[in-house]
Structures are given as structure tokens and as C-alpha cells.
Structure 1
Amino acid sequence: MSKVAKHQQIATDLLQKIQDGTYPPQTLIPREVDLMATYGVSRPTVRQAIQSLVDQGLLEKRKRRGTLVKQTKIEQAFTQVVKGYNDEMHANGLVPQTKVLLLQAETATATVAQNLQLAVGAPVIKLVRLRYANGQPVVLITSYLPVLDAVDLLTVDFTQAALYETLATAGLTVDHVRRRLDVLVADETTADLLNVNQGAPLFYFHTQGFTPQSRPVEYSIAKYRGDVNYFVMNLQRATK
């Protein structure tokens, strides 16, 4: 006879079904009464098994709907290091993809000019990308870049080319960045692009990318889905 408690056996089996895709993210697992019949156990045993997976952040109970498989969140470490999106996704075992929504020349607004240390009305390049992980939209990024002599950014295929690598070919290596984090809700357009409900929470990052000489060569606004991303920050106690 197995020494493992019945609710733990059921929880392990449910976990396996979540991991192998039998119960995909954002779908409901079978009802309690169906699980009782499948495993030949009482309702309290089924509820104990489900609760253990809820406590692990794998399931979510929805009133009047049932129990939902939660979307696995992606660890984003760019709050700690300067790292490209593709590298982040590969580190998480995910397949990145980029769709370019807009690439055009514009004139700098006051906000863009301030962040790139340009004159208001100076020519800039605007790049809007929708970035995916395993086919799922994860983040909408709008970037503003100075016009470069060494590289015509309007001819670059940013579905394949990495922005920081492209800047590096022009002798503008992004050495350090400044990021500001806000939280906002998705408007109708953003919600449609990111495949979330209007009003869903988003992480809202403003980024300035600097060369080793502290010249700003990138100003980006990134809207990350709150339901599939989390961010890691390591802090040390300040010395007196």
C-alpha cells in the first residue's frame, strides 16, 4: 500500500496533466464531482488536492465557474542586467518572436527630446514591436532612436535583428540603462494587441539606454502583461 496520502497522489497526477498540456493554461480542470468519480475518493480529499495546487500558484478557484489552470509567468531579469528580449526568453526555455507594427521617421516631441537629449522637433526613428513567447503576446514596446549616420535604421528587419546589437554595429553600445516602473491598465488598443481584457493590469516600463559615455541612444516604453510576467530584483543593504 502506498504511504503517500491519497490527496497528494491526486495532486501529483493533476500536476502532471498540467505540465503535459492535458489541462492547458486558462482552461478549467474537471469538476470536483468528476474528480471524485475518477479517483474514487471523497469531496474533502479532492478539495485538499486542489488546494495544494492553488497554494503553489498553479490553480485558481473561480466562483461559479470552477478551478482554472493559471498561466505560467515568465521571469524577467532585465531589472538587474542589460539583456536582450530574445536572451531572456531563451533563458526561460521559451521561443521568442517579434512582429514589427511600425517603423518610421518622426520628429521628437518634448518628452522624446528630453529623454534622448535632442532638440524638440529633431528627427528620430519610431519603432513599435509586439513581442511573443511561445506564440503568446507578452509585451508591446515603443522605442524612439536617434537618426544614425552609420546605420539606416529604417532598412533594418527588426523581426530578426536585435535593437542593441544593431546600435552596437553603429558604435553605440548600450552600456547601462535607467528604468522607471509604473503600473497602469490596458486601453482598448493595447488590450487587443496583447490579448487581454480592457482594464487588465500592465507593467509599464520607461527605459533610457546609454552608451559608456552616458549618451542616451534609446528611449522605450514597454507595456508588459501583468498576468504572464514577473520581475526579479536583488537588493543589498546600503552601507553607512
Structure 2
Amino acid sequence: MSIPLHKKIREDLLQKIKSGEYAENDIIPTELELADIYGVSRPTIRQAVQSLVNDGYLEKRKKRGTVVTKPKFQQEFTHVIESFDSEMNRKGLAPKTKILAFNVVKANEDVAENLRLKKGEQVYKLIRLRYAEDKPVVLVTSYIPYRLFPNFQEIDFTTEKLYKALEEAGYPVSAVARKLEVIKSDETTSDLLDIEIDEPLFYFHTQGFAQDRVPVEYSISKYRGDLNYFVFELSQ
């Protein structure tokens, strides 16, 4: 079966992007120019270009044209219970974790509510900066009930997966609830994630539940808007 023209053109444009012929921030030729170069109609070019826009290789900008951008990482954790490391490895990307803080604190009102604890109860506060291919992708602050996991501070979370540690302690995460917002980065977050101040961030609140809806994790994750996009899968 022959490959559709728009897919052939997409692959040729992608090869030019990956080889550096069209470098990051370059403006590619217009639809009319590309139609002339490839000898096809503008709708065919439009399909090829839109596919690369959808995958994060190109971005359409008003008054400038279509610009070469950094490809975004597709994040599927909105509908899959999976660790960041496992997801990155599955996609062929090298994950890395930097621990910024790991200590025992008293739960504030928000944390206590999400973990169904009394305000002031002890919780672990674990702050991690997660990388993919040496790029900082997400800043995650996780809270875990201390009384359920009294030996957690012995674990090295630079290499150990949080969900694996919860499972080995007898509380595997079987369900999650997530809330998504979009916020702007502040000075601290922009410095850690290597972005400009006021850049958009995907801001997730996650509750992880073990059997019988026992909350064992409450996490706040700030994903770079320029490097990530999320897939939501619904079924009826």
C-alpha cells in the first residue's frame, strides 16, 4: 500500500528538522512555498505541517509564520498509573531524579485534608526535580503519611520509585485522583526548571489511594508547558 503524500512530506520535513537544516526558532517556508517545493497542493502541505505542530516540532505564530520548536514529551500519566521513570524509559528517554528536600513536617490544612489526617500530624515531604534527557521537566512535591511508613527516610529516592516503595511497604497505589490547573512560573520554579518567569506550567494535584481508598500520597507537580503535553483517554 502506498504511503500518502502528506506523510512522506511530514517525514522529509522532520528529517530536515532533526538534521538541523531547519534549526530551532527558524521559520520554515510558507504553505505556498512548500507546495511549490514538493509539487503538491496546499491542503496536502497543511496536513503534513499540522501533524508536526501536533507533535511539538513546529509552532504556528501570528505575524511570524511556522517556527521550529523543541519537541514536547507526551505524558500519559493522566490515564495510566505509572512512575515517571517507567514512562520515560518506555519512551526511550533517560530519566534522572534530583532530591531537593526530604524531611518530616507537620501537615498543613491542605495536606491533612488530602491525606485524611488531622492538621499537624507528621508527614514526609519529598521534593524532587525530574529530568528527561538532561532537561528538567517537572518539579514534584509529595506528601506521605509518616505513621504508615515509619522507615521511609532510609530510602534513596534518587534511584527508588515512590510507587514501588509504597507497594513494597504493603500499600500499592490502585487508584488516583488528579486535578489540573495552568499557572505561571515564579522566580524559584523558573530557576529550577530553566524557564523564564511567568512561563506557563501544568499544575497537577494528585491523590494516590491504596486498597479501600486509603490515601497514601498527595503530590503537587509543576510541568514545563513548553516541553510537555498530556493525553487524556476516555471510553464509554
TM-score tier, shorter chain, comes to 0.7 to 0.9
Larger Rg over CA atoms: 1
Structure 2 match to 1:55? 50
C-alpha distance in structure 1 between counterparts of 2:163 and 2:10, whole Å: 44
**Cα separation, 2, equivalents of 1:106 and 1:158:** 18
Match of 1:145, SS state, is strand
Match of 1:213, SS state, is helix
| 1:223 matches 2:219 | no
Matched with 2:103 is 104
Identity percentage of aligned residues: 46
Distance change >3 Å, CA 68–CA 215, structure 1 → 2: same
In the alignment, structure 1 residue 29 sits paired with structure 2 residue 22: no
Q: Would the aligned equivalents of 1:74 and 1:92 in 2 still touch at CA under 8 Å?
A: no
Report SS of the residue matched to 1:143: strand
Q: Pairwise CA RMSD of aligned residues?
A: 3.1
Asked if the contact 2:125/2:143 (under 8 Å) is kept, the reply is yes
**Normalised by the size of structure 1, how large is the TM-score?**
0.79
2:204 corresponds to 1:209: no
Residue 222 of structure 1 aligns to a residue whose secondary structure is strand
Instruction: Give the unaligned 5+ runs of structure 1.
Output: 33-41
Measure, in 2, the Cα distance between the counterparts of 1:165 and 1:68: 41
Segments of 5+ residues of structure 2 without an aligned counterpart are none
Deviations 1:44-90 (A, max 9, x none): 84697997764331323567878632221222111112111111112
Query: Residues 230 and 30 (structure 1 numbering): CA distance in 2 closer, same or farther, change over 3 Å?
Result: closer
Give the distance between the partners of 1:236 and 1:227, measured in 2 at CA: 28
Q: Is contact 1:151-1:170 (8 Å) kept? A: no
Post-superposition Cα deviations, 1:160-183, rounded to whole Å, max 9, x if no partner, equal 000011111211111111111111
Helix, strand or coil at the partner of 2:173:
coil
Question: How many residues are paired up?
Answer: 223
Give 1:148 shift.
4.5
Deviates more, 1:74-83 or 1:14-23: 14-23
Could you give the per-residue CA deviations for residues 113-158 of structure 1, whole angstroms, max 9, x where no partner exists?
A: 1111111111111000010111111111000111156552222111
